[in-house]
Amino acid sequence: MIIVTNKEIPMIGKVNPSSIIVFILSLIFSFQASSQDYRQLRKNADSLYKAKDYPGATRVYLKSAAIADFNLQKKSSLYSAACCYSFMEKKDSAFITLHKAILAGYSDKENLLQSKDLTTLHAEKEWAPLVQSVKEEKKALNKDPRQASLVTTDVHRFWVAYDLAQKDTANRLSIYKRYYFDKASRGMQDYMGLKVRSIRAFVKHYDTHAAFYRAIRNNTLQADSFKPAIYTCFEKLKAIYPQALFPDVYFVMGAYTAGGTVSDAGLLIGINQIAKTDGIPVGELSLWEKNNFNPLQNLPYFISHELIHFQQDRLMKLDDTTTLLPVIAEGMADFLGEMISGKNTNQRLHTWAKGREKRIWQAFTKDMDYNRYSNWMANSDQETPDNPADQGYWIGYQICRAYYINASDKQQAIYDMFHFTNAREFLKKSKWEEMVAAYQ
């Protein structure tokens, strides 16, 4: 129990209410820190940062870095802690922490130079050498669809680790770490840091889905057989968007938290979520997991979705924290991904949404101008049989589809999707609001 005395908050009536809120947040998050995983700690630290409680945020960022299993998580939290030190004018601590972030793999020199959070450090003699020490890992700017590699080595390494872990279950965490995580490709390192809470959470997932993973093993090893179909999708994107770039594709065995994502390394595919064939037992899967277990034959469609995301750098750099922007980005990946592959990766949402279009849109308009992303995407915890998660994908698809069908120049419309600078203006030009108003 935390006891707050009058000595700690004297004369409540004279204290700014917002200061009290920040103080309480800091106490709560500090008290909870010892029992939370990386993702929850990071969420708490971000809340303190937004409340401008930089001392509290720093403590929790450093705690999250200390417990992080993956370098991407560690370097991100260290960088954020350094920003807090900069705001507090603790320049020595900021430089020390930035050096630690760089040693953990921080490589975004452009962000380092442009970040307003670090401007207090620019005049210091340590700044230039620090910037020079950053080893950049840039995107592979490959314009030839056929030059993209399909990297499946992580999947094969997983099954080696899996077999060893089955023979020595008491040491399975260390086995997975040694034979799978420590040997990860660049793409797998990014996937785990972005989408998996910890090695312990990863292993727990496999412990509770034993029959499922025994059944999908052979299917997860079939990615190479889809190479011709994947290259065909890449070439179709080149035809409709000549400026497209074509990254390597990394296949990994994740913790069933994401079928796909992107990073500077390339397209990152959780093959265990795209391995469905007849006869696979699904009794161990949750409702959301069942609804997001996709046929193996759909693999090219998922890769096409992520390929569109890889082209969205400009959108991701917009100074926009509303829900509308990421919804359009995800819907665009579905819409254009369908255009180049022939199938929508979220067809179940489109089936469910028929007859509900106006109601879905009306609910979304209450959130779209605010940072309420978690109500519309990546909200598997809200899934029910009558109200599926991830409805933002359907909304974004409809906006992009409306923009495309109402455009006289279709290729220009595709270019516009990747280059708009104002999500609200893009929505207006799409005429989706007028279209949905006509639904019954």
The domain boundary, picked from 132, 155, 173, lies at: 132
The pTM of this model reads 0.83
- Residue 207 in domain: yes
Place of tokens 């207090």: 120
- Residue 181 in domain: yes
Buried b (16+ CB within 10 A) or exposed e, 409-428: eeeebbebbbebeebeebbe
Of 94-103, 155-164, 343-352, 391-400, the least confident: 343-352
For the cut 60, the answer to whether the pLDDT of residue 31 exceeds it is no
- Residue 287 in domain: yes
pLDDT one-digit tens code per residue, 228-278: 999 999 999 999 999 999 999 999 999 999 999 999 999 999 999 999 999
Are residue 297 and residue 331 in the same domain, yes or no? no
Element (H, E) at 288: helix 287-291
pLDDT one-digit tens code per residue, 132-191: 999 987 766 789 999 999 999 999 999 999 999 999 999 999 999 999 999 999 999 999
Are residue 232 and residue 264 in the same domain, yes or no? yes
Are residue 241 and residue 259 in the same domain, yes or no? yes
Are residue 160 and residue 261 in the same domain, yes or no? yes
Are residue 156 and residue 267 in the same domain, yes or no? yes
* 199-207 and 210-220 helices, crossing angle to 10°: 100
The domain boundary, picked from 277, 295, 310, lies at: 310
The answer to whether 329 and 309 are in contact (CB under 8 A) is: yes
**If 0-12 CB within 10 Å is exposed, 13-18 middle and 19+ buried, where does residue 196 land?**
buried
Q: What is the CATH number of the domain that holds 42?
A: 1.25.40
- Residue 334 in domain: yes
Query: 250 forms bridges with which residues in the sheet?
Result: 151, 268
Domain containing 412 equals: 313-437
pLDDT of 348 reads 92
Are residue 27 and residue 106 in the same domain, yes or no? yes
Q: How many other C-beta atoms are found inside a 10 Å radius of the C-beta of residue 332?
A: 28
Supply angle C-alpha 165, 166, 167, rounded to 5: 90
Starting from the edge strand earliest in sequence, which strands make up the sheet with 266-270, in order? Answer: 150-151, 249-252, 266-270, 260-263
- Residue 138 in domain: no
Are residue 294 and residue 328 in the same domain, yes or no? no
- Residue 5 in domain: no
- Whole-number percent of the chain with pLDDT over 70: 92
pLDDT of 33 reads 42
The number of domains in the chain is 3
DSSP states of 79-100:
HHHHHHHHHTT-HHHHHHHHHH
Buried b (16+ CB within 10 A) or exposed e, 231-262: bebbebbbeebeebbbbbbbbbbbbbbbbbbb
- Residue 140 in domain: no
Are residue 21 and residue 91 in the same domain, yes or no? yes
The domain boundary, picked from 111, 132, 153, lies at: 132
pLDDT one-digit tens code per residue, 61-105: 999 999 999 999 999 999 999 999 999 999 999 999 999 999 999
Query: How large is the average pLDDT for residues 97-116?
Result: 95
